[in-house]
Amino acid sequence: MSKKAIITGITGQDGFYLSDLLLKQNIQVIGIKRRTSLINSTARIDSLINNNNFSVVQGDLSDSFFLNNLINQNKPDYIFNLAAMSHVKTSFDIPIHTGDINAIGTIRLLDAIRTNNLSNKTRFYQASTSEMFGNNSKKKLNEQSKLEPVSPYGASKLYAYNITKIYRQSYNIFACNGILFNHESPLRGETFVTRKIVRGAVSIVKNKSSFIELGNLNSVRDWGHAKDYCEAMIKIIMYKKPDDFVISSDKVFSVREFCKKVFNYLGLEIKFVGKGLNEVAIVTKSEKYPHLINKKIIKVNKKYFRPLDLNYLRGNSAKAKKILKWKPKINIDQLVSEMINYDLDLID
């Protein structure tokens, strides 16, 4: 009899990559999706729908009764809690909802494991985040680094991280945290900065738009590929004992550098001029798109700045590499090319 996994947040990019990897291991996947009026809300996972080991149920992390029933009926071997209100800027606008889903939603799942007497059967994975570290200076961050979040999103995730550890220690639940740094893919949501840059750049070269508006170009991030990081999730939950692991590429690039990589791949050299809100990117050279030379294709708009920004995040995944034998396979240039080629096909 195959093992069974419940995945919250099934319709996100991680939901797809994780489901695909689990199904290839003959693990039955039950995904939870929240109700939405969007017709294509399951677009990322549509290719999995015909798999007999894959199913999706409608539910919400705010509903304790639903979660308790689902877990009691299925008695899963694994629960991956990927669902979250995950846009950092938006978490400042809806902090109470962010806390209810990200923080209290996690305890609802953990307590369902406890109250259904599944502590000896069900393993729990919590999708923690590098945003918990806050502005922790320009150093590589590992499992011992100080956690001082600077957003409602980061704070809610820190609660979830801590309650996962508390349930592990108090009730002997196999509960573990993956502290994942930024991970991207062609399936990344369009409001996240990497996908926004890629889609914007492709739209510019296809004459669908004339420029991209961004926030803090100085933000430095540790970017990896979602598929690599989902492989790490499986290694974490299947390890011989519950533990917490930083998952990162250990390399960093600024938003400005990411922009240059994207436009260079498309055949445009760009130069940033000006400072602060007046900074712009201008095309300086392009054999493929000469009509764009001297055009301003990136502008800064203050509405995309967070009330309290996180300027630098770099991970140290040495523990995962040593204990889990995990390491990223896809570098940032491969990630950029995959994202661009996806949107080149998508945007007419």
Give catalytic residue positions: 129, 131, 153
Residue 211 tokens read as 């420029």
What angle do the packed helices 226-237 and 13-24 form, to 10 degrees? Answer: 60
Are 47 and 120 a contacting pair, CB within 8 Å? no
The Cβ of residue 182 has, within 10 Å, a number of other Cβ atoms equal to 22
User: How many residues can be counted in the chain?
Assistant: 348
DSSP per residue, 117-174 = T-TTT-EEEEEEEGGGG-S--SS-B-TTS-----SHHHHHHHHHHHHHHHHHHHH--E
Question: For 324, what's the count of Cα atoms within 13 Å in the CB-facing half-sphere?
Answer: 26
Are 282 and 271 a contacting pair, CB within 8 Å? yes
DSSP letter, residue 229: H
Are 135 and 154 a contacting pair, CB within 8 Å? no
Across the beta sheet with 280-285, the strand order is: 212-214, 296-300, 280-285, 269-273
Q: For residue 296, what is the enclosing H or E element? A: strand 296-300
Torsional class of 75: left (φ above 0), alpha (ψ -120 to 50), beta (otherwise) = left
With CA atoms as reference, report the closest residue to 317 among 130, 78, 146, 147: 130
Sequence-ordered list of residues with C-beta below 8 angstroms from that of 166, at least 6 positions apart, any chain: none
Q: How far apart are CA 329 and CA 266, in angstroms?
A: 23
Q: How far apart are CA 207 and CA 185, in angstroms?
A: 24
